[in-house]
Amino acid sequence: GENVEQHPSTLSVQEGDSAVIKCTYSDSASNYFPWYKQELGKRPQLIIDIRSNVGEKKDQRIAVTLNKTAKHFSLHITETQPEDSAVYFCAASKGASGTYKYIFGTGTRLKVLA
């Protein structure tokens, strides 16, 4: 069945360093890949997304890359800050508009050490 694997499950970095979270999806028909950030006790919030016709997308300190051939995509956070500490989830969907069901990864707990 459809599956999204996410690594690592936990990640600790020093403030100012970069963090990279990687996801692999199984369904080659997937064409929309959002990333969510969830702070403790809060709802998941969309931080960036990418569609299959784009290889890379950047928004300030956050970037996402997509390799359709290898079926993997990654989240890159540069110049990390303590407020980046949270759980990050990747997801894959077949709906180009993002309205089809998502398959989520199991999450990465990012800790930014001051």
Partner 1 sequence: DAGITQSPRYKITETGRQVTLMCHQTWSHSYMFWYRQDLGHGLRLIYYSAAADITDKGEVPDGYVVSRSKTENFPLTLESATRSQTSVYFCASSESRKGQYFGPGTRLTVT
Question: Which residues contact partner 1 by CB under 8 A?
Answer: 6, 34, 36, 42-46, 49, 89, 91, 97-99, 101-107
Q: Output the smallest distance, CB 39 to partner 1, in A.
A: 12
Q: How far apart are CA 103 and CA 105, in angstroms?
A: 7
Between residues 46 and 54, which has the closer beta carbon with respect to partner 1? 46
8 Å CB contact between 42 and 53: no
Q: Output the smallest distance, CB 7 to partner 1, in A.
A: 13
Between residues 22 and 98, which has the closer beta carbon with respect to partner 1? 98
Q: How many CB atoms are closer than 10 A to CB 22?
A: 17
Q: Output the smallest distance, CB 42 to partner 1, in A.
A: 8
Between residues 1 and 69, which has the closer beta carbon with respect to partner 1? 1
Q: Judge residue 27's burial from the number of C-beta atoms within 10 Å of its C-beta, 0-12 exposed, 13-18 middle, 19 or more buried.
A: middle
In the DSSP assignment, the letter for residue 18 is: -
